Amino acid sequence: MARKFSELRDKMSPAARAGSEREFRRMVEEMPLRKLRGARELTQENLASVLHVKQSEVSKIERRTDMYLSTLASYVKAMGGTLEVRAAFPNGEVVKINQFESLAESAIPGPRRSGSIRGRRRRNGVGLALA
């Protein structure tokens, strides 16, 4: 017979409960783009429509491990959020880097001719950016 989570949690020691809570918060605060999109109850098609691209382009963004900040800012803005860049140091200090704030404000352009989020390539052929 299945048991309720609340029953199991009540039997945990305070230390185990605290550890479980820390792990839960870490998991909520850190997630890949596709899971963030899912948590916001959005589909790739929804985002593609807002970004004026095909669904396959949204899929490519979610699989990338390296992208331009403008691409990430557009993706986050399409979900209703804003992108913030922060630097965390070993001593616990966290500094917000405000050099990129204009990206978040103008992240989603108007309708695009190409239908691609790729836009222009860098001179060395590496990386993709919004035009």
pLDDT tens-digit readout, 83-130: 889 999 999 999 999 887 776 566 555 434 334 444 433 333 333 333
Q: pLDDT band at 50, cuts 50/70/90? A: very high
Average pLDDT score over residue span 63-76: 92
pLDDT (average), residues 30-56 = 92
Helices (H), 30-118: 33-39, 44-51, 55-63, 69-78, 101-105
The token pair at 7 is 């029953």
**pTM of the entire predicted model:** 0.60
Task: Give the model's pLDDT for residue 5.
Answer: 77
pLDDT at 80 over 50: yes
Please tell me the predicted confidence (pLDDT) of residue 46.
Answer: 94
Closest C-alpha among 79, 82, 84 to residue 106: 82
**Contact 82/92 with Cβ under 8 angstroms?**
no
31-35, 58-62, 105-109: which has the minimum mean pLDDT? 105-109
Q: Express as a percent the part of the chain with pLDDT over 70.
A: 75
Tell me, what's the pLDDT at 30? 77
